[in-house]
Chains A and B, each alone.
Chain A
Amino acid sequence: MKLNLSLKGKIAITIVLIYLIIAIIVPILPLRDPMTFKAPPSDIFTPEIVGNYSIGAKIWRIATYASNFYIITPDYKFLVYNMIDHKITYNVTLPRANYSEIKILQIYPEGYPVFYGKDMVYLYYPSLQKFITYKVVGIKSLYLLNDPFTAFKGFLALNSSGMYAFSFNPYAPYSSNPLWKANVSEIPLGVHYSYKDIYISFKDRLVDIDSYGDMRWISNGNFTSNPIFLPVYGSSKVYVASSNNILVYSTHNGTLIEKIEMPYEIQRLEYRGQSLYAFSPQGIFGKVDLLTNGFSWEIKDIKSYTMNPFIDGMGILLKDGKIGFVLIADGTIQWGVKIDAYQILIGEIFHSPYLFAVLSNRTYIEQYSSTGKLITPLPPSEKYPLGTDAAGRDTLSQFLWGFRWEIYIAIISGLSVLLLGTLWGLVAGYFGGTVDDSLLLLSDSFLFVPAIGYAALMIYIMGISHHIEATISAAIMALAPLEARAVRNYTKVVKEKAYVESARMAGAEHWRIIFVHILPEIRGISLVYAISATTMALLLEGGVSFLGFGNYSIPTWGWMMTNAYFTGYWDRWWLMVPPLLALWLLVYSLYIVSQDLYTTEYILSFESRTISEKKIKSK
């Protein structure tokens, strides 16, 4: 068949061909899975700022417990700032000294901030609003002994003469005298404790002293981190890192039990519940897989982190300035927004964890809720060229996979209508008489139910999971009779032409005449009707999906629009416009092609047909 298409028609057919090519190559494109891929939480959560605190003074050292910030300013003021009242509730000026970081001694339900100056350890008693001081000359470092698993609550303070243990109990008489003194001369890498023992790691040895200050054992080694005893009943292991390994020592006698190989050098160990976490100076933090070595998850490019053994999450400050909340069970980073932070803190208010960021002006603190706010659907970005839908799925891959399904619907329904309708029409038109009358009445009958009626019937019969097949069969039932009518009318005209007559005279069989002589003449018009049936099938699929009869595991454009509508985001252009536009363009292009075909066919055979019609009339 010769195609004499106009420019418009050529453009339209090019568009249809492009659709076809996309549909064919979709499976080999590097796309995310349209249905199962979910954007990671760091992309779809944004931190929800739940509080802003303007301290009104510059922050030097800060810690938080419950609804209070404990702050030391550069001008040696100690402040207690209450987040609920948004005001400073305690204010005292300290002597000039190089104050340490503030640590919180947690004795449930209270938290007592502890820090040291030049010759003094300060412990602030919040409910009495006063300081308790402990004199330690030339103090170099301070380690807290917190609940749980500790023989006494208090702290260890180190100076050049040794390590002094102080006990603090709000329910017992206060004493500023140390409990005991241990002979420790150099600054340890870290201190941890079990119920009876205190483990201290140095560069070259790991020491276990009991809760009375007597040494129990020493293990020599080359250590790089603090020791950690996982506070679990029955545990008899203490973990300490030695560059790329985490060594496990027996708490009974200090023998090396096992070795956990790590991919990086480890500088700090942390614990939360029964899990061990490790931090490498390369900026990598992860959960240590105690069984198979290495990390079970890891986060890279960490500048600093904040963790609390009582809180199920941790805050991270990345090297690029992003802060994030990490769910430490699986290492999921939520949000990851860029701010200008001086320091981050993690705290808990009424059992809800919050992340606090001290902004770089050091007078202003922002409070973030740990869960963040879901910001799906994501607008288009470099990572997601067409954004995501409400469930964080990639719209681009849904859209491109949609091509494949739409073309599938178009081809199957178009071909079926073409074959069935053409045969129906040819038989009716060629044989005429009773056959014609019966087939015509049949086609008229089928036209009395609208396409949506057939679609509902077919979906009921086939089930929602087969909505595409149902739509195609509905399109065939509704549109094949229409095609049959058109083909029948044209066949009736062509049948009367002289060459058909001569073929009949030459003794050609009926079927030969139908397929060899008549079919080539009417194929144009049958194609026109088949194409229009295709467009109807495409629109019907969209409608059927919208009514909720779609199969939600198949990404069609109708489904995409429906999904956008029912999730309440149909005003987001990237969800609605691409499928709508693509569907409209396909339908419109097919419409133009069919229109062009119709014109070509009509004009080409116009003359001959008019002559034949005259002949019929004269009969």
Chain B
Amino acid sequence: MGILIVIILLIPLSSAQNFSLKCSISDRYNGSLSISQEFGEDVKKLYDTDHSGYLEKNEVISLLRDKGLRLNFTSVLNTIYFLQNFTLDGRTPMINAQDIHVNLTIPMPVNGTSIYTLSFAYTFYLNGTSDHILKITLPHRSGMFSLDLPENNTIVKNNLRNAKIEENHIEGNFTDSIVIIFREEYYYWMNIYAIALTIGLLGAFIFVAKKLRGGPTKGIKLLIKSILRNLVALFIVLTVLFYILWVVGPPPEVRIGGISTMFARFHIIKYYHLDRPWYDQYLNWWYLLFTGGIAKGVNWGKQPIDLKNAILVSLTIFILGTLMSYLISIYLAIRKRSSRNLDIYAAVFLALYSIPTFYAALLIVHQFERWPMLYTMLVAPSDPLGWGFRIFIVSLTLSILTIARPYLIAKSLATKEFTEPYVRTFHAVGMPFSKIKKFVRRNTMIPTITDAALNFGWFLTAQVFLEVIFLIQGVGYILFRGTVEGNPFQIQIAIIYFSLVMITASIFSDIVIYFLDPRVRR
């Protein structure tokens, strides 16, 4: 019956009055609207064509068609309706077909006044501002309107006649349209605090930058400072990420449109506070980051992804690759005393470094095609042995493709180191070469590892390509998938992972230097 009435109400009609609209908004997501209308005897008589004293179904329908409220319902998926006359912050709320209730007696007695009511609950989300607009357009209609708002919300502007405003309640008469601007006091004040807090944070940032800079400090203090500085940098980079991903660009429903259904989208918006002001969103984002809730969006998409496994795999490859890369480069650099010229290793490593990584990786993968068993293990391993082999090969490839930089640095340092007087002295007193190498190694390692933090950016970029080419479901693959599917949560988690890895690596290299370099420790 509800649906029938809805269909009738789609048909345009001439002017009518005596409507009573009761609207309420209970929180940021739910509300209800109840429309009631009175039909007097004189009106009803006109429609009682058979003079039976009662309006039959057809007669009621023509009465409603002419005198009822003109509402523009659009059906979606058969169960969801959008009421196009009614918008909150420019968006039409969702109405579940089951929540539409119509109160109408059929047959309707002509004598006396009859009341017909149509009520429904709706769900919506608001803009991330403190002021919101409620708009109902009802051309050629007039009547009474009342609105109940949640606590601490106030009415800013309205177009009602004889409006009575009491805190979060407004009542008045309307003609043709209803426009009400209301304000969430909580966010209105929060906005001011947030701006103040941001300025404070900027000050704190400058203070921190000043306090944590390098310089004359040494020893454990330097180490602590460097760690703190890295953490501040992490905070900044994550804030930048948040800003780019969630504040710049199109509205949230467009951003997450690619990965979800209409219902899921609503859920995502609620979960990530995408409908809230940026500071609320931001605080919630940090809360989700610390509680691990940030990982939730990763599985919203076409195929779920095992995030834990992905991180484990990626981290393993990263650590293995880095270790190989640095161990090989330092080993090769100090293996023997040689001239300053580019040696064969440097030439090969540079060549691998300067061609696009994906192409080099492809070349390597295709080398394995000659051995079907190894190739299968590489692209689709089925047992732990296969997995191990695959991860080893990928790490090795990664280290070979990115070894040029550490190798060149280590090589030039080692060459210089071998000409130092202490090496000659050791040599002169007859110390074996293997023992001399120990000293050279330590001195070579320090600047090489200092540079590592800068090298890791390229290392991680290469890892993304490798994971895509070797079909490894790692974090790089998640980044790839996220970009392809337009899933911001996957992109987000991948970038958070990258920055965490970079920061950890940076802190780790500081610690290594601390133990390697006595000058720092002193």
Contact = CB atoms under 8 A, between A and B. Distances in A.
A457 B245 contact: yes
Given A437-B206, A438-B205, A542-B358, A445 B236 contact: yes
B480 interface: yes
Interface stretch (A102-110, A240-248, A282-290, A579-587): A579-587
B241 interface: yes
Contacts of B206: 434, 437-438
Contacts of B309: none
5 contacts: A447-B453, A448-B498, A450-B457, A457-B495, A461-B248
Given A434-B210, A456-B479, 13 more contacts: A434-B209, A441-B205, A441-B213, A441-B236, A444-B233, A445-B240, A450-B461, A452-B465, A452-B476, A453-B499, A461-B248, A549-B483, A561-B356
Contact of A460 (B208, B232, B482): B482
Interface string B231-263: 011101100110011001100000000000000
A143 interface: no
Given A447-B457, A547-B465, A588 B354 contact: yes
Interface stretch (B93-101, B134-142, B486-494): B486-494
B359 interface: yes
Nearest to A485: B454
Nearest to A591: B354
A408 interface: no
Nearest to B208: A441
Interface string A520-551: 00000000000000000001101100111100
B464 interface: yes
Contact of A543 (B212, B237, B248, B357): B357
B139 to A, nearest CB: 38
Contact of B495 (A437, A453, A584): A453
Contact of A446 (B213, B237, B495): B237
A456 B491 contact: yes
A580 B359 contact: yes
Contact of A570 (B362, B453, B482): B362
A440 interface: yes
Find the residue from A438, A445, A547, A576 having the highest chain B CB count within 10 A.
Answer: A445
A449 interface: yes
A139 interface: no
Q: Tell me if A's interface is mostly helix, strand, loop or mixed.
A: helix
B465 A448 contact: no
B229 interface: yes
A441 B233 contact: yes
B228 to A, nearest CB: 11
Given A456-B491, A546-B465, A591-B354, A449 B502 contact: yes
A580 B356 CA distance: 8
A438 B209 contact: yes
A459 interface: yes
A449 B495 contact: yes
* Range of interface residues on A (Cβ < 8 Å): 35 or more
A105 to B, nearest CB: 57
A275 to B, nearest CB: 47
A448 B245 contact: no
A543 B483 contact: no
A134 interface: no
Closest 7 CB pairs of A and B: A445-B236, A437-B209, A445-B233, A452-B461, A441-B209, A450-B457, A450-B460
B244 A457 contact: yes
* Range of interface residues on B (Cβ < 8 Å): 35 or more
Interface string B208-235: 1110110000000000000001001110
Interface of A: 433-434, 437-438, 440-442, 444-453, 456-457, 459-461, 478, 482, 539-540, 542-543, 546-549, 558, 561, 565, 570, 576, 580, 583-584, 587-588, 591
B344 interface: no
A382 B402 CA distance: 41
Nearest to A463: B486
A459 B460 CA distance: 18
Nearest to A558: B356
B503 interface: yes
B59 to A, nearest CB: 56
A456 B482 contact: yes
Contact of B237 (A448, A482, A549, A584): A448
B232 A441 contact: yes
Contact of A450 (B212, B491, B498): B498
Nearest to A580: B359
Find the residue from B359, B491, B494 having the highest chain A CB count within 10 A.
Answer: B359
A453 B358 contact: no
A526 to B, nearest CB: 18
Contacts of B209: 434, 437-438, 440-441
B237 A456 contact: no
A452 B479 contact: yes
B192 interface: no
Find the residue from B236, B244, B483, B494 having the highest chain A CB count within 10 A.
Answer: B483
A441 B208 CA distance: 9
A584 B352 CA distance: 11
Contacts of A453: 460, 479, 494-495, 498-499
Contact of A542 (B356, B453, B460, B503): B356
A540 B357 CA distance: 10
Contacts of B6: none
B249 A461 contact: yes
A187 to B, nearest CB: 68
Contacts of A565: 362
Given A441-B232, A460-B483, A451 B244 contact: no
Contacts of B484: 547-549
Contacts of A461: 244-245, 248-249
Nearest to A535: B354
A449 B499 contact: yes
Find the residue from B355, B480, B482 having the highest chain A CB count within 10 A.
Answer: B355
